[in-house]
Amino acid sequence: MRLPRFPDTAVPRLPVVAASVLGTLGAAEAVLAADQPTGGLLAAAALALCATLPVAVAQVHLVLAAAAGTGATLVTAALGHRPAVAALLAQTVMLYLVGARAPGRVAQLFALPYVAYAIGPAGTGVGGRVFGTALLVVSAGALALGATARAGTESASRAAADDDLHGITHAYAIGEERARIARELHDVVAHHISLLSVQADTTRLATPGLPELAATRLLAMGDTARLALAEMRRVLGVLRDDGEAADSLPQPCLAELVNLVDEARQADGSRIHLIVCGRYRRLDPGLEVTAYRIVQEALTNARKHAPGAAVDVEVSFGADALELAVWDTGPAARRTGVPPAGSGFGLVGMRERATMAGGTLETTHGPIGGFVVRAVLPLPVGQR
């Protein structure tokens, strides 16, 4: 197995500095400790350099550097010279790196020369068999420590991978459950909404002498049912996993608030006014969807808790934020300050939408009665 090669720019300066220092110390120690002619001194210094300088390239060519250091160290001992302390230190570091980064078989191969030296000619070499055994223990210990560090790193990596796999599996299971719920909800609710639309149209067309106002209300009821069915299919269709393509209807935007107000006004005859302040301009699609849904839910709450009350919808285009305000005069209960019954999930949903857009939403009673929903949605930097 080939070891990964790092780009030259990734090699830090520390190994080069360490190799220079160790090489200098090793050569000086070899020369000072040797009692032999000049040729022998040069050979001892050369072997010390061969055992220390490979540290400079150990991160790029680890196996070659460790092999060169091992060979120089054992040749020095076999020639009857004690290896320099700097050379032994450099060899220990490189063997540790071999154990930590190289495959296990490569690390075992590096231990074999030291085993052979310890049980072979070590008895007649420098330091005797004690030195050979000590050299084997140090080298084997460095390889073992490196292998232990590598095993710990791999174990941590496996644990992290297992956690990631568990998270993915959990998310997939949640997605499967949501898809199942989406299918069941679509199948059940779609049937009833479709039946409601058909009954409204049938009643309008099959009832003779139906007043014009009642016919208009039934027509609006059928249109609302069909719109609700389309909205539900658009929202729930993305959760289906049976290959059925979701309806690719366009997302609502602020320009459609006029239609939304008209539909709400026609649904129950309420007096609903749309007020636009500032210069109208197209905003981020996600922000427009959020604003549209907040107004839609606020109108639904007003129709539910204050039927027939006058409602004002104000949309203000500011320099750095889009401000929304929906307030109604409210029935008697609302004018006396009693909170509207059932105000839970609708308000929570509006607040969550505002928070996801980085804005705020507050709900309170109006100064002269009724209920007020105010939202401030910050504009993206590019649209300010």
Tell me which of 163, 193, 210 is where a domain ends. 163
Instruction: Read off the pTM.
Output: 0.42
At 341 the pLDDT is 44
Phi/psi for 330 (5° steps) reads 80, 155
Q: How many structural domains comprise the chain?
A: 2
Q: Which two tokens stand for residue 344?
A: 């839970």
The per-residue pLDDT string of the chain (384 residues; one tens digit each, 9 = 90 and over) reads 444 444 444 445 777 787 777 777 777 777 676 555 555 567 777 777 777 888 887 778 888 888 888 888 888 777 777 777 888 888 888 888 888 888 878 877 888 888 877 777 554 455 567 777 788 888 888 888 888 888 888 888 888 888 888 888 888 877 777 776 666 666 667 767 777 777 887 887 878 888 888 888 888 888 888 777 777 776 666 555 444 444 445 678 899 999 999 888 877 777 899 999 998 888 888 889 889 989 998 998 888 888 878 899 999 999 899 999 999 987 644 444 444 544 456 788 788 888 888 899 999 887 777 899 999 999 987 776
Say if 18 falls within a structural domain. Answer: yes
Contacts of 136-143 with CB under 8 Å at 24 or more apart are 136/111, 138/88, 138/92, 139/70, 139/91, 139/92, 139/95, 139/110, 139/111, 139/114, 140/111, 140/114, 142/92, 142/93, 142/95, 142/96, 142/99, 143/95, 143/96, 143/98, 143/99, 143/107, 143/110, 143/111
At 334 the pLDDT is 46
At 208 the pLDDT is 83
Rounded to 10°, the helix 104-119/62-78 angle is 0
Tell me which of 163, 190, 225 is where a domain ends. 163
Looking at the fold, whether 156 and 262 belong to one and the same domain comes out as: no
The answer to whether 375 touches 350, Cβ cutoff 8 Å, is yes
Residue 158 lies in domain: 8-163
Rounded to a whole number of angstroms, the CA Rg of the chain reads 40
Q: What is the CATH number of the domain that holds 350?
A: 3.30.565.10
At 125 the pLDDT is 54
The alpha carbon of residue 226 and the mean position of all alpha carbons in its chain are separated, in whole angstroms, by: 39
Tell me which of 104, 134, 163 is where a domain ends. 163
Helix and strand totals (H; E) in the chain? 11, 5
Say if 185 falls within a structural domain. Answer: no
Looking at the fold, whether 153 and 38 belong to one and the same domain comes out as: yes
